[in-house]
Structure 1
Amino acid sequence: MTGRLAARDVTLAYGDRTVSEGLALDVPDGRFTAVIGTNACGKSTLLRAFARQLSPASGRVELDGRDVAGYRPKPFAREVGFLPQGLVAPENMLVRQLVARGRYPHQTLLSAWSREDERAVSAAMDAAGVAALADRPVESLSGGQRQRAWIAMVLAQETSYLLLDEPTTFLDITHQYQLLTLLARLRDEGRTVVAVLHDINQACRFADHLVAMRDGRVVAAGAPGDIVDADLVKEVFDLSCIVVPDPLTATPMIVPKP
C-alpha cells in the first residue's frame, strides 16, 4: 500500500539514543490510521518525523515523492497539520485567537484576514465543540476544554493530512467518542488522518487502518479485522486476551484475560 506521505528506510534518534532503525511505512491516503503500542515504543517519534519536527538520522520522509525537508514551512503546513502533546498557549490568549493561529499558513504579507479565514475558524470551533468558549482565556479552561481548543486550531488549518499525537488526552469519555467520530467523518470527506491512540478498542472501532509498533519497529499494519488477534496483542502489549467482535460495529474488541 502506497501513499503520498511515507517513511523510507528511516532511522530516528534523539542524540545518541536510537528509537527506530530502518523504518519503512506508507500512510494510506484518505484513511484513518491509528498508531498503537506501549509507551516509549516510538509512536510519537514517528509522528514527529512525518510532521518535520524531527529530522531522520538516515533515510527520508517523503511527501509526493519529495523529501519533506525540502519544503518551505508554509506550503508544508498547508498540506500537513500536526497536534503534538503538551502544548501551552501564551498567557491571556482567547480561544478564538488560538484557533485563528491555524490560519497562519494561509496568510501572506499582502493578504488581510478574510471571510474565508473567519469561516474556517468558526467551522473549526463548532466541530471541536468550543464555539461557546470563543471569548474565554485558554488558561481558564479545564484540561479537556484546552485540548479541544488545540484540536480546533489544527482543524482551522484545513490541511489534507491531520497528524494527532494522543488527541483524546484529558477528554472525558463523551468527548473522546465525539472527537473520534469527527475524525472518522473527516476521513469520509477525503482527509487523511493519523492519530496515536492508547485505547486499542477505540482504534479498532474508528480507524480503518492500524499501525502496531513495538521497540521502534512496525509489528503489523493493515485493517483492524485483518491484523488484530490475541497473538498480536500479546506481542505488542504483553497482554493475554481474547478478541471478540464489537457488538455494535463487529470490529475487533479486546477482552483481557483475568
Structure 2
Amino acid sequence: MTRLTARDLTLRYDDRVVSTRLSLDVPDGAFTAIVGPNACGKSTLLRAFVRLLRPSAGAVQLDGRAVSTYPNKELARALGFLPQEPVAPEDVRVRALVARGRFPHQSLLSTWSEEDERSVAEAMEAAGVADLADRPVHELSGGQRQRVWVALVLAQRTTHLLLDEPTSFLDIAHQYQLLELLARLRDQGRTVIAVLHDINQACRYADHVVAMRDGQIVAEGAPARVVDAALITKVFELPCVVVPDPVTGTPMVVPAL
C-alpha cells in the first residue's frame, strides 16, 4: 500500500474532460517523473493530488483518507507543491518568501522558532539562494526566482514534494543541480513527484516514470523497463532510437529524424 494514490479519477475543467478513470499509486520514498506531450494531463493530475482541482469522479487519497477531508494546514504539512508559474507578493524579499513555507507549521499561539529559522536557512542553502536572501524577488532572473520557489517548498519539510516543471527557466547547469537535489531528498526518504519535459533527465534521475497521453497513463514503471522506442513514438510521435546513457546506463532517447 502506498501513501498517495489516485483512484478512478475523472478530471475536467468545466465542460472539457481531461482524464477519465485514471488511477495511479505513487511509490513511497521514490522519485516519480511524469512525462508526456503538452496538454496531455500531467499538470492536471498534480493539481488533483494537492486538491487544487476537485475530481468530478473518483478520489485522491493520502494514507487511505481522501485528501478532500484534510484540514488545509495538515495537508500542507504532508504535500508540498510547486506550480508552473507561482506569483510572489510585490516587493517581498527572498528570505521572507521562503519563510512562508513554514506557515503550515504555525498556529495562533506559536512563535517563530529555532526550527523554523533552521528550516529556512537550510532550504535556501540547498536551493542555492542563500546569497540572495536580502534581495527583492522581483529583481531576480527567472532562474533565480525558480530556485527561490524551490526553497520555499523545501522549507515546508513535507514528506511528499510535487513539482510541476521545476526545471523551467533554469540553465542546463542549474537543471541538473536541482535534479541532483531532488534525488538526494529521495535518498533521504522523501517522496518526489515531478512533471518533466526532458525524457532523458527523467530516465536518469527517476525511479518510476509515468508516461501520459490524451489524459491517460500509457505506461509506468522503472525507466529501464518501460522506456523504449515504441513507447516514445506512441507518446510523443517521435521516431527515435533508445540507447544506454554513456554515463549512467539509463535509457537515452536519440531522435531519428
Q: TM-score, normalised by structure 2?
A: 0.99
Q: What does 1:214-225 align with in structure 2 at a 5 Å threshold?
A: 214-225=213-224
Q: What does 1:216-255 align with in structure 2 at a 5 Å threshold?
A: 216-255=215-254
Match in the other structure for 1:9: 8
Match in the other structure for 2:82: 83
Rounded Cα–Cα distance in structure 2 between residues aligned with 1:47 and 1:101: 21
Instruction: Please report how far the alpha carbon of residue 85 of structure 1 lies from its aligned counterpart in structure 2 after TM superposition.
Output: 1.1
Match in the other structure for 2:142: 143
Rounded Cα–Cα distance in structure 1 between residues aligned with 2:86 and 2:46: 15
The code of the aligned residue for 2:8 comes to D
Instruction: Please report how far the alpha carbon of residue 86 of structure 1 lies from its aligned counterpart in structure 2 after TM superposition.
Output: 1.1
Match in the other structure for 1:188: 187
- 1:97 corresponds to 2:91: no
Rounded Cα–Cα distance in structure 1 between residues aligned with 2:198 and 2:235: 13
Superposition RMSD in Å: 0.5
Extract structure 1 runs of 4+ deviating beyond 4 A.
none
Cα deviation code 1:53-80 (max 9, x no counterpart): 1000000000011110000000100000
For structure 2, the 5+ residue unaligned runs are none
- 1:44 corresponds to 2:43: yes
Rounded Cα–Cα distance in structure 1 between residues aligned with 2:85 and 2:125: 23
Match in the other structure for 2:205: 206
Instruction: Please report how far the alpha carbon of residue 87 of structure 1 lies from its aligned counterpart in structure 2 after TM superposition.
Output: 1.0
Q: TM-score, normalised by structure 1?
A: 0.99
The code of the aligned residue for 1:7 comes to A
Instruction: Please report how far the alpha carbon of residue 3 of structure 1 lies from its aligned counterpart in structure 2 after TM superposition.
Output: 1.2
Query: How many residues are treated as equivalent by the alignment?
Result: 257
For structure 1, the 5+ residue unaligned runs are none
Match in the other structure for 1:64: 63
Cα deviation code 1:138-176 (max 9, x no counterpart): 000000000000000000000000000000000000000
Residue 158 of structure 1 aligns to a residue whose secondary structure is coil
Instruction: Please report how far the alpha carbon of residue 5 of structure 1 lies from its aligned counterpart in structure 2 after TM superposition.
Output: 0.4
Rounded Cα–Cα distance in structure 2 between residues aligned with 1:173 and 1:128: 15
- 1:170 corresponds to 2:169: yes
Rounded Cα–Cα distance in structure 1 between residues aligned with 2:219 and 2:163: 20
The code of the aligned residue for 1:81 comes to G
Rounded Cα–Cα distance in structure 2 between residues aligned with 1:83 and 1:68: 18
Cα deviation code 1:97-153 (max 9, x no counterpart): 000000000000110000000000000000000000000000000000000000000
Aligned-pair identity (%): 70
Cα deviation code 1:168-219 (max 9, x no counterpart): 0000000000000000000000000000000000000011100000000000
Residue 162 of structure 1 aligns to a residue whose secondary structure is strand
Rounded Cα–Cα distance in structure 1 between residues aligned with 2:50 and 2:244: 34
Match in the other structure for 2:127: 128
The code of the aligned residue for 2:34 comes to V
Match in the other structure for 1:32: 31
Residue 171 of structure 1 aligns to a residue whose secondary structure is coil
Residue 7 of structure 1 aligns to a residue whose secondary structure is strand
The code of the aligned residue for 2:184 comes to R
Match in the other structure for 2:154: 155
Rounded Cα–Cα distance in structure 2 between residues aligned with 1:229 and 1:194: 21
Instruction: Please report how far the alpha carbon of residue 88 of structure 1 lies from its aligned counterpart in structure 2 after TM superposition.
Output: 1.2
